[in-house]
Structures are given as C-alpha cells and as structure tokens.
Amino acid sequence: MRLHAAAILVIFWLGVFTVRTAKGSIGSQAMRKFKCVDLSAQKWNIQNLVSYEKQQVPVNAIIFLHSKGFKICVRPEQKWVQAAMKKIDQKRNTKGK
C-alpha cells in the first residue's frame, strides 16, 4: 500500500514539474499567436525590450516583447526600432558564444 501511494505521489510531482518547466521564461515564449493591428507611435526604452519578431500581415510591423511581458507593435522603418533590433541581436549573439 505504501509503495502504491509513493508511486502516485511521484507521478503527480513529475506532472507538476513538467507543466512548470514547459512554460519557460518571458524571453523564451513564442509570440506567434499575437498579431498587430494598431502601431504604437511612442518611443520605448531599448533597455526594457527583451526580444522582437517581424510581422508583415495584416500590417508591416515589429513586435517587441517588453521585460514586463507585454507586446509592443511599432513601425519597422523608425530609427530607434532598428537600433533596438540591432541591440537585441547583439545580446543574442553574445549569449550564444
């Protein structure tokens, strides 16, 4: 009886651990399900932007992921947007080495 209860407990905790680790960190979460319709005109602090993704449909946009977890849609031709993308790419390349 004890062995049976212990096995059930182990299976339960493995399930909990698997669900928690599958969620990952903010920076590793995929942004594919989110689509931009409106674009922000505000200039954001580059230091707070974690990652980005390019979107072409329904509008041409860059989607930034903020360190607090929300997504920001902006026009890709803005100079600050290009600088932010470059900085994020440099961070990715530095971490990969």
Residue 94 structure tokens: 């530095």
18 within some domain: no
Helices (H), the chain: 2-23, 79-96
70 within some domain: yes
9 within some domain: no
Residue with tokens 């602090």: 45
Q: pLDDT tens digits for 31-85?
A: 457 788 899 999 999 999 999 999 988 899 999 999 999 999 999 999 999 999 9
Range of the domain at 49: 27-96
Look up the pTM and report it: 0.63
Q: pLDDT tens digits for 16-27?
A: 555 444 444 555
The count of other CB atoms within 10 Å of the CB of residue 81 is 21
Number of domains the chain contains: 1
71 within some domain: yes
Tell me the CATH number at 59. 2.40.50.40
As a whole number of angstroms, the distance between CA 82 and CA 7 comes to 54
Query: For residue 93, what pLDDT is reported?
Result: 87
80 within some domain: yes
Using the predicted structure, report yes or no on whether residue 12 has a pLDDT greater than 70.
Answer: no
Residue 17 structure tokens: 């651990």
As a whole number of angstroms, the distance between CA 34 and CA 53 comes to 10
74 within some domain: yes
87 within some domain: yes
Query: For residue 22, what pLDDT is reported?
Result: 43
68 within some domain: yes
